[in-house]
Structure 1
C-alpha cells in the first residue's frame, strides 16, 4: 500500500494488465478483439490524475501501433485521458532504460518529474528505476509486495487513487 503519493508532473502507464485487461491468447491487435475491458479502477484513477498531472502510455506492445492503441483505449473511454502514447512502433525501442530515456527526452523532463505504473516488475519498474524514474508495481496476481527507494507495490489501482486524494 502506498502511504504517501508520488509527486509527479507526468504519470506513465503500462497498457496491458495495467490500464486494460490483456489476453495472452490473442494474436491480433487489441483494437480488433471482439471484447476489450479496462482494468478495475482505471477510469476513476485517470479521471482523478488528469486534474493535476499529464498522463502518458508507455507500452511494450509489439502487435499494435499508436493509432490502434488509441482506438482500443477509446473503446473503454480511457483514451481521452492519455496525452501521448509511446510504443515500440513509434519509438523503435522495446521496454528498457533506453525506452524510458527516450520518453523523458521527448517530454523534456528529469526522471523525478515522472512516475511509471506497470504490472511487469522487470520491464516496467526496474527499467524505469534504472534511469531514476520512481515506479509503482501493480501486482494483481499475488500478495507479494516489493519496495525500495524508487519503487513500491499496489495490488489494485484504487490504492493509488486513495493515496493521491
Structure 2
C-alpha cells in the first residue's frame, strides 16, 4: 500500500482493464458491447472495499460517457455500491489533466491523500493521480514487474486488494 495514508476514504477504480476486460480497439460504448466480462476478482474487491470507503470509477474511456459506464457497470453486475463515475467523455478532459483530479476531489469533498486510484495504465491510472497527490496502485496483470514510488505501488491481482488494504 502506498505510504501517504493507509486507509483511503475513497477508492477509485479504472474501468477498462481494471474492472472489466478491455477491448481498446472498440468503437462501441461499453454498455453496447456484446461481451462484457469482469476482470477476475473485480466483484469480490468491490464488495470487500464497500464497507471501508466510497467506491468510484474513474475512466479515460474513449467512447463511453458517465451514463454509458453506469449502464456497463450494471450489465457486468458491478454497479451496486459504486457512488460516482468520472469519465473523460463527460468531463471533457482525462486523468492526465490535473483538472480531472480537482473535479474528483471537489465532488467527493476529500483531500487527494484520502483517495486511492487503482488501474492498469501506469501513466494514466498511477503516475497522473500520484502527481495530483493521490495514492495509487498499478494493477499489473501482465508481467511480474513491480513499480514502487512516492504514493504508488504495484498490485498483481484484484484478489490481493482486500488483504493489502484492510488485512
TM-score in terms of structure 1 length:
0.93
CA distance in 2, matches of 1:92, 1:25: 20
Q: Over residues 65-100 of structure 1, what are the superposed CA-to-partner deviations in whole Å (9 max), with x where a residue is unaligned?
A: 111111111112101121000002321211222211
Map of 1:19 onto structure 2: 19
**Greater CA deviation, 96-105 or 52-61?**
96-105
Count of aligned pairs between the two proteins: 164
Map of 1:68 onto structure 2: 68
Q: Secondary structure at the match of 2:80?
A: helix
Q: Which runs of 5+ in 2 are unaligned?
A: none
**Greater CA deviation, 139-148 or 88-97?**
88-97
**CA shift at 1:3, angstroms?**
9.3
* 1:42 is aligned to 2:42: yes
Aligned 8 A contact 2:66 2:87 in 1: yes
Map of 1:55 onto structure 2: 55
TM-score in terms of structure 2 length:
0.92
CA change 1:29–1:69 in 2 (3 A) is same
CA distance in 2, matches of 1:3, 1:152: 6
Aligned 8 A contact 1:6 1:115 in 2: no
CA distance in 2, matches of 1:24, 1:86: 18
Cα RMSD after superposing both structures: 1.6
CA distance in 2, matches of 1:66, 1:3: 28
Q: Secondary structure at the match of 1:84?
A: strand
Moved over 4 A (4+): 2-5
Q: Secondary structure at the match of 1:83?
A: strand
Map of 1:79 onto structure 2: 79
**CA shift at 1:24, angstroms?**
2.4
Map of 1:131 onto structure 2: 132
Q: Which runs of 5+ in 1 are unaligned?
A: none
CA distance in 1, matches of 2:88, 2:62: 6
**CA shift at 1:132, angstroms?**
0.8
Q: Secondary structure at the match of 1:100?
A: helix
